Structure 1
Amino acid sequence: MIDNVRTIVAGTGLEARYLTLGDRQAGTLPLVYLGGAFQTCMNVERTLRQIYAERQVIIIEMPGFGETPVVDRSVDCKTISDSVGLVVDHLDIGRFDLIGCSYGGIFALEVARRRSEQVRRIILAGTSPFPQPTERGLRLSLNLLDHGHHEPFAELFAQLAISLPHPTKRELLRKRLLTSLVGQPEEVYHRFRENTHRLFLMKTVPAFTGHPTLLLDGESDTFTDPVWMKQQAALHDNVSVELLPGCDHFFHIEDKVATARSVNEYLDQAWIQEERRLA
């Protein structure tokens, strides 16, 4: 049973939580993981076991995410991202790799911008501008939450997020997601509402930082935009794309093996290339 989640409070009073998994290993850097909507240290841990078997992973629940107190949408991305720097300084991990999942990818880019010398490589997992149908659906879902309609919200969100081509598997996973979302404490819905409004206020994904970056997603994801990802790879020499077959926005849950392989290979390849340059 993993229960060593720690809390750290910034000078602004914002609270972050973190969980360290695995040991620091030779030939690897720590991997800092920034989660998205409805992700916590504990439920993310289950999806990362094949990753932290090979490298140390630090899951960070930024202010307003995970099980931290709700943060109003008026608090900007830069302020929230400062909590990541607070954690990595507290742990004194030095240089690190960085992965942001879904909403977390937005903050990963901000962290990389502010901690440019410390970050080696970035993985954005299911992060892109929202396609127009998804944005319309999310705005409708926020309206449902504003009126206290939690179950209709959960039904709509499950339809938006689960878009597998196989109908039987798609409906099964939608039911599972629906079950996990219905009946949550009010603060869970409140977090989602404030964080999603904050993203809408930002209007777009921040610019890439110049770090080598992998855009990782499921090839059937309609919650985000794989076409946009391919366009970014064509525009930036240090941006690459990998789309996992048979998966959607929840690829990291639907195919943990393929996700771990993609993450580990991308980071290990970078390390090998760096070692050769130094030799």
Structure 2
Amino acid sequence: MIQEIYIDGKGNKILGNNPILERSSVNFFGNNNILFCDDHVRLNGTTINFNGNNSLIFLGSCNKYNIDIDIFNNSVIHIGKSSYFNKNLKVIISECKHCFIGDHCIFSADVIIRNSDAHLIYTCDTKMRINMTESIYIGDHVWIGQYVNILKGTQIDSGSVIGASSVVAGKKIPHNTIWAGSPARQIKEDIFWDKSCVHGFTEEMTEASMNYTDFLSKKIEGCQVDYWTYQYKEDETIEWSTLEAVFSKGNCLDKCDFLIMMNSNRAKNRFVH
């Protein structure tokens, strides 16, 4: 049974655990929306606007969020556990499509995620619309650089890096690769990255970081040398299309139950395709 933290007269609910709010607000402008907060969710300089009806935002545990979210009708946003937000992550999700973000991701400053063009575009001859809104999917342990725009139809598998100031639209990005540019293109494959920040490194730490095995011996946490290297395993993978199907039917509570169940089994290679 999911704990009910808040309910208003329009069927909007906050479920799970009480988030810590610092200079933050959660605004329900529509009906029958759900905000689910896992353990130890802290909203710092965050604004969440439910601008429509029947949408779900799922905030993973152990995160200090510094984000602005605008979500509209019949959409789902999932952000996994233990991710890092530098500042000013902007997420706009609309037109009954979705945004899924896995665990252990890093978002540098001034990143924008949006799944629509906002306005309509048609061909002159057929008068048919050509700019449909699409969902965005981001796996585990993905690093998004400063000033990056992640746009509709983007799918990023686990362990990858998006370079600063890149524009990523409709790309299917494999695991353990680096993409950069506008439009983004692959510039490196078979890489992995570690979340340690070099800003405070001593000369000894810089020297140790030249070889990851040496570097791990200097760290307190016991991480295996190949921990951030992912590979496709049929018995572990969760297809993005599976999530799309679940998010696009049923009610918000059913979708929330699904995400709780999915997060109880965090196979390492779940988002490698």
Range of TM-score over shorter length: under 0.3
TM-score of the pair, normalised by structure 1: 0.26
Higher strand share: 2
More helix by share: 1
Query: TM-score when scaled to structure 2?
Result: 0.26
Higher RCO (CA < 8 A, seq sep 6+): 1
Query: Which of structures 1 and 2 has the bigger CA Rg?
Result: 2
